Amino acid sequence: MEQFEQLLTCAICLDRYRNPKLLPCQHSFCMEPCMDGLVKCPECRAEHRIPYQGVQGFPTNVTLQRFLELHIEITGELPDPTSGQVMERCNVCSEKSYCSVCVHCEKKICSDCKGAHMDILRREIARINNQVRRALHRLQDSLTLVEKNSLSLQQNCTSVSEEIDEIYRRLNKALKDRTEFLRGEIDRYLSTELRNLSTLKENLELEISNIQSNCDLADKHMTEAVEWDDCELMDAKEIFLKTVEFIRNFEYENADYNRRVRFSMSTDPNQLVLHVAGYGELTINMPHQPFVGTGGSGGGIVTSSSSAGLLQPPGPGLMRSKSDHRLASQFRQQEERGGYDRGYGDGSGDPSGTSGRVSPLGSRKFGERYQQNRGGSDRYDQQQSRYGSRSGGGGEFSAEFESPYDNDGNRPRSKYRSRFSRHHGENADSDNDTQGSRSVRFTEGQHQHKERERVLDTEDVARGPLSGITRLYDSPRVMKRLQESEQRGKKKETAQPAQPPQLQVKAPQQVPKRTQRQVSEEDEISKIKRANKSGTAAAPATDTTTPSTPDVGRPVSERVAALKTARDTSSDDRDSSQPSSPTGRIPPPDVSSPARKAPGTEVASSDAESDDGSSVSSLQQTQRKTAGKPGSGSVSRRSSASSDVGSHKKATRSASSDSSTSSESSAASSSVARSSGTAFTPEEQKQKFKSSPAESPAGSGASTPRTRLSSTGSDTPKKPFQSRFLASRQSAATAAVEKSTKEEEEDEEEESESSSESEETDSEDESADETSKKKPEQTTANKSVDKSDIGPLLARSALARDTSEAARKNSRDDSSATGYGRSRYGSGADTSSSNYRPSYGTKDETSASSTGSKYLNRSRGSVDEDNTASSRYGSGSGYTSRFLNKSKSSAGMSPDEEADSGGKKYSPADDSSKYPSGRSRYAALKDRRARLARSRSSHSFGGPDDEEAEDGRTSPTSSMPTTYLASRYGSGSQSSNELARSRSTHALKSRDNSPDRSAAGTEKDGAALSSWARYLKNKYGNKAGNKDGGSSASGASSSPSATTTAARRLSLGLPLRHNSASVESSDDDQKNPGGSPTSPTAAAAAAVDFWLSGFAAAAGSSPRSQYLQKRRQQFKIGSRGSEPGCFTWPRGIAVGPDNSIVVADSSNHRVQVFDANGIFVKEFGSYGNGEGEFDCLAGVAVNRIGQFIIADRYNHRIQVLDPSGRFLRAFGSQGTADGRFNYPWGITTDALGFIYVCDKENHRVQVFQSDGTFVGKFGSSGSKPGQLEHPHYIAVSSTNRVIVSDSNNHRIQIFDVNGRVLTTFGSEGSEEGQFKFPSGIEPYGSDIKPYGSDIKTYNSDIEPYGSDIEPHNGDTKPYGSDIKPCDGDIEPNGGDTKPF
């Protein structure tokens, strides 16, 4: 058998024959590839004439083939799978073999190469996975932050409500006490008065009777009938007289008893009531937020913001137009990027949507990857996302303007989603659908560069709500693979190693998502509920979505659910669908990580729940359809809604503080408002919905799905429901109607909110109902989505946009005016309020404010943190913080677009760089801002908004709220140009004050600010300028000359910013990144980094401080290249008399001259050995009369050129004699015009007169003092000390002008005071500064100079790094230091 097999083995490939060809010599070989290039028989070396048509012209060895077949039969081995295939050349290794298309490289390659590529992919996945893992903590951090925030929010709110209760009690008590007291007083008064009166009455009666009796007696008996003596008569008379007198005099003081008790109040009762009614306000600390809420009583407090609402800033028009072309550009871009979006119809349909969905987090993360692999793609993504958000924002805007609620919903939602959603993944699930599509792009990008079929990323895969990252475990493919591998493992343990690893690798990727999910899911119940929700949401989504888009990634919520739902929709069989869905079900067989398992189970549960939900929803839907009537529908909805609500409530109630729930509630409220709603024509609604999907995506991933649903589903059954919802949204169209409705709604909202949670629940129910009407099962998330949907819809209509924009601006203005620390929140609130106003008029204002106040109140507790908190409230007034951010960001987007359109595109690289990490992003932002500011003075808002937007995005994740705020702030101000100034100050303050900022944050912040300030400056002139200075100072440097710096920066601008050539050219040089101010080397290494502080710092400060100041990079010139302003191995630098900077651009064989600001002035010289030609010149010096003295290194000569660069003379040639050189390097000149040349290979310094006459030399090869080993650079101080970088001795030597050694310092090493191949050197003032590749500053006292010299030590720098000194002090300023 063995021999038999041997007979069937081709001698060349040592494999079984494949298509054996028989040579005339009777030897057989495989046709391919063994006979390729065959000349002689490999076995017998017989030469054969190759047939005309090639080796296949040889007859096939049929016998052998029979044997092969026989063998196959006998052994039962599988036939060669490649039989029948034709070999091709592998496009990678160009071996001939059976090729198949590799998705990695998109070429047809052989299996070996494919395996290699797969390995690469696996490795990359592993690597990225590691990155993901490493970065995952950020999400977790933010999760904890969110939790913390929610907690604090709750605490805050409870404390506030307790406070309010307390106040209420107190007021109540005071009122009661007082009332009782007053009542008692009155009673007392009454009784005493009565008593008095009664006694008086008695007395009077007595008197009357007495007098009467007297009278009677007198009448009767005072006659003569009775004998009275005189005394008696006299007395009687007196008595009567007295009586008369008494009667006469007696006067009842009527007045006394006539007076009434009056109840008078110290204050006007009306006012008092007012006061009491408005006895408290809730202030929400959102920076700059103007909102004021009234407490329990209905009395509304007018927020300042409301007033502003009516004003329409000029901006909106611009915005609008921008948005239009923004959209267009987006679309274009999308098309370009087809790869990403491709396959997802939705994405192409609504570019903004896609972009919008991209979760910043996700994008960022992947962004890194992108950068690496794809350069520009990143940028696109970013842009897209930007656009998306922008567009979303636009939509939001419009929505805002028209219906604040809607806007709110949208905004918050979207924001939330993107930023936070992962948290609330469950809720988000419904949204996932849309996001999914978006996310697809990302994932794709991750795995492949181009379009290709996505196997893992299929529609049914669960996706992270924020990032849209698919959960690999859910992918049917993955499951299948895992299962297979498991089975295989069982069967034969030796099963392919490759696949399992692959899967595993993938799994890790997935894991993060998982974790996210897990994290988000706080407890099982909530999860389940969410799952239900999501399921429900998903179900409707599926229903609505057209069949064509099924593939489109439905995000997370379980494609299973989607599938089910789809089935459900088609028929009521959802239940069956569940089990049937293969992907969702199968728990991953081999759970590599525990996390996975949990997710799997979760998924299952969620699926089940979702199924239920879906079924419910489907039922409801069916009901609706059948019913057609809203009423019947409503009932069904209600039930569904209530169930949903219940679940939501739980979720919300749970400490988890699901923003989603809060959002839901808010959404509910908004929905309520809508519900009051004006009736829209179904058509309109439809239109809107349709439009919404496109736009909405940007707003929030969640929103899109719903919108879709709505659009598709809206068809007949939903219309009634929609009408309600839409009413609020369609403010522009049916503004008046809406107004009324809105007002009502608002009132309702207010009441409900103020009253209690129960009301909230009611509202939720209502909202739920409404939502249910639309999509019966959509949970609060759905509601919010609806809102968001609205936004997009509105966005579409230009009017809407305008209004919205105006509203926005107004709101911003208002907020700024109010001077609240205006946070995004504030702005959000403002916008909402403002929105209301415009649409609703004055009356609305109160309502708006009230709504706002509600939200505010709630959110108030958690001021800073509490984007999340605010987000909760957001629904009411648009979720403030995040949402606002988002909205802003979206707004911000427009500027970008504008910029783009304007032709000020950012280089893709920049964009991409921005995103890789929050930090980098920031930096990018900075740059961008600067650019924007600069370029964009014409666009009023664009820049700032954009910036803001970016900030907003970044901020949520990054823990610098202040920055955010500031940026936010800035944006707000920008939006309204007029306000800009005042705001800018605010912004500054806020930034400065913010303690939370991390240092980096501050820096960046500052930088951003500065750029912003610049922008302002451009716009507004001096004042801004001051700020600019300040900001720049804070951000970049605290140098006294900050303003100048800033100015310089301004002037230098970006154009001058090049990467340092050296950095690019050599890694060694790169050690100190050009930007790092602390590393002098970097500067040196860098093409030319000017630490201009040297320039700026005058003699006044102490040398040390001066010196320290020097290490700051002032600016940087050049990048690698040969164009003017670029360098290739700059090796020498000098300062000309007018502070120009002269650089010996060694490998470009030229000298370049820059002015003091680094602006290219001129160049001269070219390669060669003629006059004025150079060959790798090294040192350059400029003497007092401006002549250039150049060490023409490879020509072994010194050339002197006049100030205009014309050749004057040359001296020297190669050799060791006096006046000859061997690779002269450093060169300098002293005050007397002597020229000092480092004759490097001769290990000496030669001194010449300015005309080239040899004067002297010193140094010889060696390491003793006074000896030199490859001296590189030389400098002469103003005290006529000659400082030489004795490079190979790793030291600096100082000579006097006669060549006597004064000092030697430094030794090899990397400690302070040690060097490694120092090269550059330059005296600065009295200090010596050695530069070198690794020189650090020296602090040792070096005697002759007596100043501080700080040792700089760098790491190893390549020998002779060719740059001369660029340290802070490169060249002394104004010649005060430099001896000419």
Partner 1 sequence: MTALPRRIIKETQRLMQEPVPGISAVPDDSNARYFHVIVTGPEDSPFEGGLFKLELFLPEDYPMSAPKVRFITKIYHPNIDRLGRICLDILKDKWSPALQIRTVLLSIQALLSAPNPDDPLANDVAELWKVNEAEAIRNAKEWTRRYAMDN
Nearer to partner 1, 118 or 566 (CB): 118
Choosing from 36, 1241, 1269, 1296, the residue that interacts with partner 1 (CB under 8 A) is 36
Choosing from 48, 50, 72, 95, the residue that interacts with partner 1 (CB under 8 A) is 95
Nearer to partner 1, 36 or 124 (CB): 36
Nearer to partner 1, 91 or 518 (CB): 91
Stretch that binds partner 1, among 37-45, 396-404, 841-849, 1318-1326 (CB under 8 A): 37-45
Nearer to partner 1, 34 or 1237 (CB): 34
Q: Is 1205 left (phi over 0), alpha (psi -120 to 50) or beta?
A: left
Nearer to partner 1, 44 or 234 (CB): 44
Nearer to partner 1, 11 or 1000 (CB): 11
Nearer to partner 1, 96 or 148 (CB): 96
168 to 207: interface string for partner 1, x by CB under 8 A: ----------------------------------------
Distance between CA 985 and CA 971 in Å, rounded? Answer: 13
Distance between CA 790 and CA 796 in Å, rounded? Answer: 10
Burial class (CB in 10 A: 0-12, 13-18, 19+), 818: buried
Distance between CA 479 and CA 455 in Å, rounded? Answer: 12
Taking the complex as a whole, how short is the minimal distance between the CB of residue 91 and partner 1, in angstroms? 12
512 to 541: interface string for partner 1, x by CB under 8 A: ------------------------------
Residue 501 binding partner 1, by CB under 8 A: no
Choosing from 14, 225, 255, 999, the residue that interacts with partner 1 (CB under 8 A) is 14
Nearest to 725 by CA among 409, 412, 418: 409
Nearer to partner 1, 37 or 76 (CB): 37
Nearer to partner 1, 38 or 200 (CB): 38
Distance between CA 358 and CA 467 in Å, rounded? Answer: 6
Distances (CA, A) of 927 to 480, 921, 962, 980, 1365: 47, 10, 20, 21, 28
Nearer to partner 1, 115 or 582 (CB): 115
**Could you tell me if 649 and 764 are in contact, meaning their C-beta atoms sit under 8 angstroms apart?**
yes
Taking the complex as a whole, how short is the minimal distance between the CB of residue 40 and partner 1, in angstroms? 7
Taking the complex as a whole, how short is the minimal distance between the CB of residue 29 and partner 1, in angstroms? 8
DSSP state of 309: T
Burial class (CB in 10 A: 0-12, 13-18, 19+), 223: exposed
Pairing of strands 1141-1145, 1150-1154: antiparallel
Residue 116 binding partner 1, by CB under 8 A: yes
**Could you tell me if 418 and 549 are in contact, meaning their C-beta atoms sit under 8 angstroms apart?**
no
Residues of span 54-93 touching partner 1 by CB under 8 A: 92-93
Distance between CA 179 and CA 185 in Å, rounded? Answer: 10
Nearer to partner 1, 95 or 978 (CB): 95
Taking the complex as a whole, how short is the minimal distance between the CB of residue 1062 and partner 1, in angstroms? 32
Which residues share a beta bridge with 1224? 1239
Sequence-distant (6+) residues with CB within 8 A of 412 are 663, 666, 784, 828, 871, 874, 875, 878, 879, 880, 882, 883, 886
Distances (CA, A) of 422 to 418, 443, 952, 1163, 1173: 8, 16, 17, 56, 64
Choosing from 23, 34, 139, 519, the residue that interacts with partner 1 (CB under 8 A) is 34
Nearer to partner 1, 12 or 1161 (CB): 12
Residue 245 binding partner 1, by CB under 8 A: no
Choosing from 12, 200, 737, 1301, the residue that interacts with partner 1 (CB under 8 A) is 12
1274 to 1303: interface string for partner 1, x by CB under 8 A: ------------------------------
Distance between CA 892 and CA 385 in Å, rounded? Answer: 12
Distance between CA 340 and CA 445 in Å, rounded? Answer: 7
Residues of span 318-377 touching partner 1 by CB under 8 A: none
Choosing from 23, 102, 103, 113, the residue that interacts with partner 1 (CB under 8 A) is 113
SS3 1268: strand
Residue 11 binding partner 1, by CB under 8 A: yes
Two tokens, residue 992: 């400065």
Residues of span 870-929 touching partner 1 by CB under 8 A: none
DSSP state of 1195: G
Nearer to partner 1, 92 or 1363 (CB): 92
Q: Write a three-state SS string for 180-244.
A: HHHHHHHHHHHHHHHHHHHHHHHHHHHHHHHHHHHHHHHHHHCCCCCCCCHHHHHHHHHHHHHHH
Nearer to partner 1, 116 or 635 (CB): 116
Stretch that binds partner 1, among 11-19, 766-774, 1032-1040, 1333-1341 (CB under 8 A): 11-19
Distance between CA 999 and CA 989 in Å, rounded? Answer: 16
**Could you tell me if 607 and 738 are in contact, meaning their C-beta atoms sit under 8 angstroms apart?**
no
Stretch that binds partner 1, among 5-13, 877-885, 1143-1151, 1327-1335 (CB under 8 A): 5-13
Taking the complex as a whole, how short is the minimal distance between the CB of residue 373 and partner 1, in angstroms? 21
Taking the complex as a whole, how short is the minimal distance between the CB of residue 110 and partner 1, in angstroms? 8
If you write DSSP's letter for every residue of 1197-1236 in order, what string do you get?
Answer: EEEEE-TTS-EEEEE--BSSSTT-BSSEEEEEE-TT--EE
Distance between CA 605 and CA 585 in Å, rounded? Answer: 10
Nearer to partner 1, 96 or 597 (CB): 96
Taking the complex as a whole, how short is the minimal distance between the CB of residue 127 and partner 1, in angstroms? 19
Choosing from 42, 298, 1186, 1205, the residue that interacts with partner 1 (CB under 8 A) is 42
Distances (CA, A) of 1022 to 54, 981, 1046: 83, 11, 13
What is the C-alpha R_g of the chain?
A: 43
Binding residue count for partner 1, defined by CB under 8 A: 20
Taking the complex as a whole, how short is the minimal distance between the CB of residue 130 and partner 1, in angstroms? 24
Nearer to partner 1, 100 or 740 (CB): 100
Taking the complex as a whole, how short is the minimal distance between the CB of residue 20 and partner 1, in angstroms? 14
Choosing from 2, 3, 45, 248, the residue that interacts with partner 1 (CB under 8 A) is 45
Choosing from 24, 79, 115, 1055, the residue that interacts with partner 1 (CB under 8 A) is 115
Angle made by CA atoms 953, 958, 963, in degrees to the nearest 5: 75
Residue 43 binding partner 1, by CB under 8 A: yes
SS3 101: strand
Distance between CA 377 and CA 398 in Å, rounded? Answer: 30
Pairing of strands 1173-1174, 1180-1182: unpaired
Nearer to partner 1, 92 or 1245 (CB): 92
Two tokens, residue 181: 């007291």
Taking the complex as a whole, how short is the minimal distance between the CB of residue 42 and partner 1, in angstroms? 4
Taking the complex as a whole, how short is the minimal distance between the CB of residue 86 and partner 1, in angstroms? 18
Residues constituting the chain: 1380
Choosing from 6, 24, 26, 40, the residue that interacts with partner 1 (CB under 8 A) is 40
Nearer to partner 1, 45 or 491 (CB): 45
Backbone angles phi and psi of 727, in degrees to 5: -50, -50
Choosing from 5, 47, 77, 112, the residue that interacts with partner 1 (CB under 8 A) is 112
Contact positions vs partner 1 (CB under 8 A) = 11-15, 34, 36-37, 40-43, 45, 92-93, 95, 112-113, 115-116
